[in-house]
Amino acid sequence: MKVLVINSGSSSIKYQLFEMPRSEVIARGLLEKIGEEISPFRQKSGRGEVEIKTRVPDHEAGLNLIIRSITDPETGVVASRNEIAAVGHRVVHGGEEFTGSVLITPRVMAKIRKYADLAPLHNPPNLMGIRAARKFLPGAVQTASFDTAFHTTIPDKAALYAIPHHFYHRYRIKRYGFHGTSHRYVARRLAEILKRDKTELNLITCHLGNGCSITAIEQGRSVDTSMGLTPLEGLVMGTRSGDLDPAIIFYLADKGYNPKEINNILNKQSGLLGLSGQSNDMRNLVALREGGDPRAALAIDIFCYRLRKYLGAYLAVLGRTDAIIFTGGIGENNPLIRTLTLQGLEGLGIRLDEKRNRLTRAVEGEISAPGAPIRVYIIPTNEELRIAGDAYEIASRRPGNAIGPAASKKRRRK
């Protein structure tokens, strides 16, 4: 079954076409700068690389371009768009309602629109992608995988903020958490690697990319995570502050900054960029630190200290931890960050094998010392594959498809 996975952002569409259940990527691509003068488009597949620079006014035109490229007689990978049986969409916010991936119906679309109130930068472009896919691939099953879904198991004691309770009832203010598909993917992968059932494992998963979050997973269920109502809370990130005293916002307001400016400062000008004054890219900061730059060194120290503090908190939350997983661009590739975060924690059962830590990059592998009570792993994230897996499972369960339970129920009723 061919499954197209779409990640539709405010001005970009990222996609991968999978052959399922083999989990084989047959094409992948990225369209950027939608709505600007020139929108660069790139696709890679077994039939070569395609690069186009053209004007793409909106997401609908964008998806049309992508489908034409996938089905192009010379450089495409499928003969007809009808071969695409399912489309899995990444959707950022599913509120408290969506606890797993679902078949997209008009009701589901209305809910995604409703939760745009909580994710105004993400849910509207996600919906644009869904609308375009329904238009151009009307025969395909459309599914949604939500970043928040994995965290709907977080108990109230970890999810609610200590503000008057009616704000939760009136506005649904609580910790939703994000990166759920990534945390779920790496946790499931580790269970596969260890040949254990996910319900036997307590894990701490660190997704460290441009956005960063850490999750405590007890017996396969997320029980706490560092991002909150929005992806601003928690760890230090590329340009986001993570945790801070909320009174800083009023202090800045008193100094003359308006809410929009403060929002922009905390989301776009803070984190590694704000601290270093130079870059939000960890690669640059590591190089600057090696060259003796004190601000880059400080930014890295603060990044690792915050992560270590959360790690300590989640070790206490879980009581017993089997493994810590690093993923995301920084988590997978950066030995220095892992060392600075975990060094000196032998008393807690964490011991890195420094050679393995240095040498393991962007591949699955254990980096803890043999015999350490808490094992440490690198597992490259693959949210697209998880979304494709969900879309495949949902499409397979549809009536009329011989392998799904819906089909077998029908047979039983007869």
Using CB under 6 A, which of 210, 264, 267, 278 touches ligand AMP?
Answer: 210
Rounded Cα gap, residues 348 and 350, in angstroms: 6
For ligand AMP, give the closer residue by CB, 282 or 304.
Answer: 282
Cβ of residue 384: shortest distance to ligand AMP, in angstroms? 13
For ligand AMP, give the closer residue by CB, 180 or 329.
Answer: 329
**Scanning the structure block, which residue is given the tokens 């899995």?**
88
For ligand AMP, give the closer residue by CB, 135 or 283.
Answer: 283
Using CB under 6 A, which of 94, 95, 129, 329 touches ligand AMP?
Answer: 329
Cβ of residue 302: shortest distance to ligand AMP, in angstroms? 15
Best CA proximity match to 381, nearest among 333, 336, 323: 333
Under the binding rule (CB under 6 A), the answer on residue 325 touching ligand AMP is no
**Applying CB under 6 A, which part among 49-57, 123-131, 173-181, 281-289 lies near ligand AMP?**
281-289
Residues 224-263 as x/- pattern, contact with ligand AMP by CB under 6 A = --------------x-------------------------
Whether 331 has a binding-site annotation, put simply, is yes
**Scanning the structure block, which residue is given the tokens 């922009």?**
264
160-193 core/surface letters (b: 16 or more CB in 10 A; e: else):
eeeeeeeeeeeeebbbbbbbbbbbbbbbebbbee
For the chain, give the number of residues: 414
CB 15 within 8 A of CB 32: no
Burial of 197 per CB tally in 10 Å (0-12, 13-18, 19+): exposed
Rounded Cα gap, residues 176 and 226, in angstroms: 10
Under the binding rule (CB under 6 A), the answer on residue 9 touching ligand AMP is no
Under the binding rule (CB under 6 A), the answer on residue 334 touching ligand AMP is yes
Whether 347 has a binding-site annotation, put simply, is no
Rounded Cα gap, residues 90 and 67, in angstroms: 18
Under the binding rule (CB under 6 A), the answer on residue 281 touching ligand AMP is yes
Cβ of residue 238: shortest distance to ligand AMP, in angstroms? 6
Cβ of residue 7: shortest distance to ligand AMP, in angstroms? 12
Helix (H) and strand (E) counts for the chain? 16, 14
Residues 6+ apart with CB under 8 A from 134: 104, 142
Binding site membership for substrate: which residues?
Answer: 90
Residues that bind ligand AMP (CB under 6 A): 209-210, 238, 281-283, 328-330, 333-334
Binding site membership for Mg(2+): which residues?
Answer: 7, 383
Binding site membership: which residues?
Answer: 7, 14, 90, 207-211, 281-283, 329-333, 383
